[in-house]
Amino acid sequence: MIKFNLKLIVLSFLLLISLKPLQSAEMADPIKVDWSFKGLTGTFDRASLQRGFQVYKEVCASCHSMQYLSYRNLGEPGGPEFSEQEVKAIASSFEIEDGPDSQGEMFTRPGKPSDKFKSPYPNVQAATAANGGAYPPDMSVLVKARKGGANYIYSVLVGYEDPPPGVTLDDGVYYNKYMAGNKIKMPNNLMDGLVEYADGTESTVDQMAKDVTTFLAWAAEPELEQRHKTGVKVIIYLVLLTTLVYLSMKKIWSRVDTEV
Amino acid sequence: MSEQEYVPKSKAGKWFNDRLPLLTLGAHLTDYPTPKNLNYWWTFGGILTFCLITQIVTGIVLAMHYVAHADLAFASVEHIMRDVNYGWLIRYIHSNGASMFFLAVYIHIFRSLFYGSYKSPREVIWIIGLMIYLLMMAAAFMGYVLPWGQMSFWGATVITNLFSAIPLVGDSITTWLWGAYSVDNPTLNRFFSLHYLIPFLILGLVVLHIWALHVPGNNNPVGIDIKKPSKDTVPFHPYITIKDAFALLVFMIIFAGFVFFTPNVLGHSDNYIPANPLVTPAHIVPEWYLLPFYAILRSVPDKLGGVILMFSAIFILFVLPWLDTSKVRSAVFRPIYRQFFWILVIDVLMLGYVGAMPAEGIYLVLARVGTIYYFLHFIVVMPVVGYLEKTDPIPMSISEPVLNGGAEPSLARKANDKV
Amino acid sequence: MSKEEKKVNRRDFLFTASYTIGAVGVGAVIWPMIDQMNPDKAQQALATTEVDISGIEPGKSITVLWRGKPIFIKKRTSEEIAEARAVKLDDLPDPQKDEDRVKDGKDEWLVMLGVCTHLGCVPLKDKGDFNGWFCPCHGSHYDVSGRIRKGPAPTNMEIPKFEFVDSNTIKIG
């Protein structure tokens, strides 16, 4: 009886869920990409992360901050894993404001691995003003902050199109089929060959979009690889212990006449 | 309580026990006679204790790194996720732990509803349990505010604004709750303080909940009173402890699946956007475990009415022991009530679902139908079915499935089955 | 072995295995709860500091912060060096040559952790009976090499790991 009713519940619930909301009418579903970091044992593609950082540095970073990341993160396990020298070189290529010194003055110095990523604007207001009233969001946790995650970010990057007839766009507004409302204030910044990859990979728009999305996915979840590895171990451990406890329970309950 | 007085074997034990009878308490808890036919739905009490302790331990740890300030809270959470040793693990256990806690408590409550565990003489256990549930909701709501993301901020705004529906003093109360003229830094600070306090209140109530349980003893799937100890009972340890441990481990496998492989699926992506008082997210929803109440709130096209109805949906449960007129506890022997019970389960699931959807069109209709049934169930169905229903014959004891009024052993066996 | 005994053995094995593996799991869960209180990655990353020492006059010292603790950097005069080296090792509670407390060829630079080895106070400079430092908390006297001479402190003030990046800059840590 009860089992039958459970089935009934599941069925009616599935029925409910099949009534999809109507809200996403004008927004295309994001492209599904087979990311290497998907799944229970997914890991990041190091080369892609390093290329993605290059795209971020040369293209995105002129408007988007990543204030929760530090240069040292680039050398940490589970990330792009640049060497210590490379991380130092990357950090020192940025001028970081520090201070006050013993005279009370602020000064700039070359960045250190312990410094946070340098932001392109001093504050949100400055960033908003410089970008026609649209704040370019901080990208530290962007992949976690968008429904659809990495697929969505990638789709928006490659989703620029000419507006369909009848759609008029204001100045500084662009048409993107994956964006909510199809209107985006970020211009299409990627074009083939824009970045010269250090490893010789051909920098097509699609390649750059994938690389930078991979980089952003890592930036949002730098613990992902460790999490997956620990998770597999924890589940195996729990299943083993559960089996042992189940057998123990059967043994203990064999002393009484009730089934367990 | 076991009848015979417990006497510690060692001299030191006796010396201590005469001064503080902790050993007597320990002996009572291990020997506590428990009905031997408890099914797996009864393991959720133990699971809930585990959830509470997990939340308290991980919460204390998180508070060592979290900063309750509007300018720093979001960054401190990112600091926990990125820099603190195992910070990501501890935070994901805490955030998913809240969901697992509610999953377990809902199963626990519906188990009680199905087997009539709220009925005499267990009304006080039920009422204490509801108080725990209310505090859990308060703790979960305030905890969700702490990361200071968009959902935190706007969830806090919407929920605190509920109080502004109170006539005359509503606005003053809301301002008082905020400590400002909107949800702001003072609000965050006091929410953090209360979020730290409430789990310890819950812990105290849990002690009372278990104390109140140990006076009449456990209900059981058959729902009949049993003699204790007797051949219908087993000592709590090792029989119930091992069974609880097994169920808890299965529960932990599911828990670990969420923590390690989909840690954010139960949350909302908007909460990774820092709070912005100027922009409301397009579609704001509470955490899943509050959705049924949210649906009830939105089903009424009147501010005060919606708030009253939502709070009534919870408070009606407090008088449930007196709304249920049936003499029989377990729904196993109540063929009519049993059907209504499952309708209620489906109704609450449906309310939860439409609570996550926009309040328009078919969803609004469903929400209204669901709300009406929810109240009808308790106000009309429970008393009326209790009077009119012809219940199935009830066994005399768990071990001897002899039925009053003829042999029908299949029924009793069914009652003993695990569900 | 009788059937009955076998049964008991299997039961014992099951229970022992469950308890043992359960205990391992509890231990594995406790470790993250302890380790979270250790210095986090951001703290660890700040483990080195570079200091510009070009402005220090002979006989003077500066104090800089490293890992939240003061570092004394003193440019000693030749008289002070001579004084430090004239002390007989037998007179020291914690015998150590002055030469071992400075870098070869940079004998004038004394770089040490400005924390009294007694209970962690910061000693005052140019005070005490030995022309060095004096800890006001419990009266420990240090000489011009930072070695303990009188008072309750058990050891000399600690020399941190440091190196000269160039003649004007030292890197601590």
User: Would you call B85 an interface residue with chain C, using a CB distance cutoff of 8 Å?
Assistant: yes
Asked whether residue A227 falls in the same domain as residue A216, the answer is no
Q: What are phi and psi of B272, to 5 degrees?
A: -95, 5
Residue A108: inside a domain, yes or no?
A: no
Asked whether residue A227 falls in the same domain as residue A217, the answer is no
Asked whether residue A54 falls in the same domain as residue A147, the answer is yes
Asked whether residue A35 falls in the same domain as residue A161, the answer is yes
Beta bridge mates, C169: C52, C166
Cis peptide leading into B229, omega within 30 of 0?
yes
pLDDT band at B242 (very low <50, low <70, confident <90, very high): very high
Interface of A with C in 208-247 (CB under 8 A): 237-238, 240-241, 244-245, 247
Select from A71, A218, A201 the least CA-distant residue to A153. Answer: A218
List of chain B residues whose C-beta atoms are within 8 Å of the C-beta of residue C23? none
Nearest CA in chain C to B78: C42
DSSP assignment letter at B163 = G
Measured distance CA(C122)–CA(C130) in Å, rounded: 17
Torsion of Cα atoms, B295 then B301 then B302 then B303, to 10°: 40
| Reported pTM | 0.90
Is C33's CB within 8 Å of B82's CB? no
Asked whether residue A247 falls in the same domain as residue A176, the answer is no
User: Would you call C40 an interface residue with chain B, using a CB distance cutoff of 8 Å?
Assistant: yes
Is B342's CB within 8 Å of A5's CB? yes
Token pair for residue B225?
A: 């009173």
Interface of C with A in 75-104 (CB under 8 A): none
Measured distance CA(A222)–CA(A227) in Å, rounded: 9
Give every CB contact of residue B155 below 8 A, 6+ residues apart in sequence. B141, B144, B145, B284, B286
Measured distance CA(B320)–CA(B118) in Å, rounded: 8
Given the residues C138, C158, C165, C168, the one annotated as active site: C138
Is B253's CB within 8 Å of A239's CB? yes
The CA–CA distances, whole Å, from A133 to A28, A128, A129, B280 equal 26, 5, 5, 17
Is A72's CB within 8 Å of C46's CB? no
Nearest CA in chain C to B83: C41
pLDDT in tens, B277-311: 999 998 888 999 999 999 999 999 999 999 999 99
List of chain A residues whose C-beta atoms are within 8 Å of the C-beta of residue C22? 241, 245
DSSP assignment letter at B381 = I
Contact (CB, 8 A) for B156 and B136: no
Supply the CATH number for residue A189's domain. Answer: 1.10.760.10
Asked whether residue A40 falls in the same domain as residue A52, the answer is yes
User: Would you call C163 an interface residue with chain B, using a CB distance cutoff of 8 Å?
Assistant: no
Asked whether residue A50 falls in the same domain as residue A171, the answer is yes
Would you list the DSSP string of C104-156? TT-TTEEEEE---TTTSPPPEEEETTTEEEEETTTTEEEETTS-EEESS--SP
Q: Is C118 a catalytic residue?
A: no
Measured distance CA(A173)–CA(C125) in Å, rounded: 66
Measured distance CA(A51)–CA(A40) in Å, rounded: 24
Asked whether residue A198 falls in the same domain as residue A234, the answer is no
Residue A4: inside a domain, yes or no?
A: no
Give every CB contact of residue B284 below 8 A, 6+ residues apart in sequence. B151, B154, B155, B158, B270
pLDDT band at B413 (very low <50, low <70, confident <90, very high): very low
Query: Does the pLDDT at position B134 exceed 80?
Result: yes
Amino acid at C37: M
Is A141's CB within 8 Å of B78's CB? yes
Rounded percentage of chain B residues whose pLDDT exceeds 90: 89
Q: Could you tell me the residue range of the domain that residue A243 belongs to?
A: 223-252
Measured distance CA(B289)–CA(A250) in Å, rounded: 34
pLDDT band at C51 (very low <50, low <70, confident <90, very high): confident
Residue A14: inside a domain, yes or no?
A: no
Token pair for residue A78?
A: 């589970």
Query: What per-residue confidence (pLDDT) applies to C46?
Result: 78
Asked whether residue A184 falls in the same domain as residue A122, the answer is yes
Query: What per-residue confidence (pLDDT) applies to C173?
Result: 82
pLDDT band at A23 (very low <50, low <70, confident <90, very high): very low
Facing C32 at nearest CB: one of B65, B82, B89: B89
Q: How many CA atoms does the CB half-sphere of B316 hold within 13 Å?
A: 18
Distance from CA of B233 to the nearest CA of A (A): 10
Residue A155: inside a domain, yes or no?
A: yes
Query: Does the pLDDT at position C117 exceed 90?
Result: yes
Q: How many domains does chain A have?
A: 2
Query: What per-residue confidence (pLDDT) applies to C165?
Result: 87
Query: Does the pLDDT at position C3 exceed 60?
Result: no
Is C21's CB within 8 Å of A247's CB? no
Domains and CATH numbers, chain B: 36-284 (1.20.810.10), 287-399+406-419 (1.10.287.980)
pLDDT in tens, B352-403: 999 999 888 999 999 999 999 999 999 999 999 999 999 999 888 887 654 4
User: Would you call B82 an interface residue with chain C, using a CB distance cutoff of 8 Å?
Assistant: yes
ipTM (interface predicted TM): 0.91
Query: What per-residue confidence (pLDDT) applies to B399?
Result: 74
User: Would you call B86 an interface residue with chain C, using a CB distance cutoff of 8 Å?
Assistant: yes
Residue A107: inside a domain, yes or no?
A: no
pLDDT band at B113 (very low <50, low <70, confident <90, very high): very high
Asked whether residue A127 falls in the same domain as residue A248, the answer is no
Q: Is the dihedral of CA B335, B340, B346, B352 positive or negative?
A: negative
Asked whether residue A164 falls in the same domain as residue A148, the answer is yes
CB burial readout B256-281, b (16+ within 10 A) else e: bbbbbbebbebbbbbbbbbbeeeeeb
Asked whether residue A37 falls in the same domain as residue A160, the answer is yes
